[in-house]
Amino acid sequence: MALMPCSLRKALRPACSQILLRTYISSTSAPKTPLLNVPIDFGRTPLLHHVHSTYVNSPELPQDTPTRRMNLYQAVNNGLRTALDASSKVLCFGEDVAFGGVFRCTVDLQNDFGSDRVFNTPLTEQGIVGTAIGLASEGMKPVVEIQFADYVFPAFDQIVNEASKFRYREGSTGGNCGGMVIRMPTGGVGHGALYHTQSPEALFCHVPGFRVVVPRSPTQAKGLLIASILDCNDPVIFMEPKILYRAAVEEVPVRSYTLPIGKAEIIKPGNDLTIISYGRPLYTCAAAIEAAERDFKGMSIELIDLRTIYPWDRQTVLESVLKTGKAIIVHESMVNFGVGAEVAATIQDRAFLNLKAPVKRLGGWTTHTGLNWEKFIFPDVARVYDSIEEILEY
């Protein structure tokens, strides 16, 4: 693919007060696929382990162990069951948790572990998190469920002013809230409207003391959840993309295993562009990459899953961008003051002299999500594809 020469780009740049309207060479040489925004085919996406043999590409996962097909909510349930079985200090509670919860993530756990360890609470998010802080400070490992991420805001004071500061306040005593996990379904689902669609992860990333984790798949959800409960010395906010609860299905190891918190994963290697994302938008990015690499011959695009949003894996991202010289960050939450802004600023600060194009951010538009507008607000395959085209040809 012929790219625009640097001298020609400079000649086309107008004065700062003007607007640059760039025409892409690919508009004539590489026709776009007309049906980019078809629904994601979760049955063939390369992001899921449809068969056990693909585990060879994921060395973090147990290789020689039986697996079972699970969707994401079943993997969360299996991870909770594993943690409850591993330690008598683990407790699960929240609104409707005893019968399984809205999305069935805790189904049958009370039957198997008793009402002293798995139980319902009143409708009080602040009370749920406050109780969890007290239990964690005494050495228990409470895993609480906020029914939707949209409902977490009444608990914000407990999260920001109490839990996140606990270890700092304790100083040399060694007291902490490690093992406390706040689970919540997050993101769009196609019909969530104002109060069942929000992705508030950026709000929590502004507060030191918590780790913020967003799994992309059943295997990731189980391994990251067990690590959050049993291995982490900090409290964790565990945000589960609810549209994936039933959409994402793959082979999941039956036995217990953990995945590293704070470590990003290179899902797909590439040399010409780095795309950084997490959670549900990774599937959108994978579909856009497939179309772009088909249309722009010879180009290869690297895809990175942050997995842990805070503190995020700067080293993996920077090493990739230093190699490719170009970066796009994609997330579902609103683009303003989002995770993408932090990642982009870090890339500009640490890899500026290696950049061949401006760092691009794609996120939800800065607006509340009305019922009829969700599909127009979140980044779709066409928007990601167009951004890939723009950055490759810069």
Which residues are catalytic, by number? 125, 196
Neighbours of 189 (CB within 10 A): 18
Single-letter amino acid, residue 109: L
> Which single residue is written with the structure tokens 């020609």?
8
Nearest-angstrom CA–CA distance, 2 and 32: 16
How far is Cα 335 from Cα 337, in angstroms, rounded to an integer? 6
Question: What does the block give as tokens for 356?
Answer: 């061949």
Instruction: Tell me the DSSP string of 319-353.
Output: HHHHHHS-EEEEEEEESTT-HHHHHHHHHHHHHGG
* CA pair distance 243, 386, nearest whole angstrom: 24
Q: Of 290, 252, 292, 240, whose CA–CA distance to 82 is shortest? A: 252
HSE value, Cβ hemisphere, 13 Å, CA-based, for 312: 26
Q: Which helix (H) or strand (E) holds 250?
A: strand 249-253
Q: Which residues make beta-bridge pairs with 212?
A: 237, 310
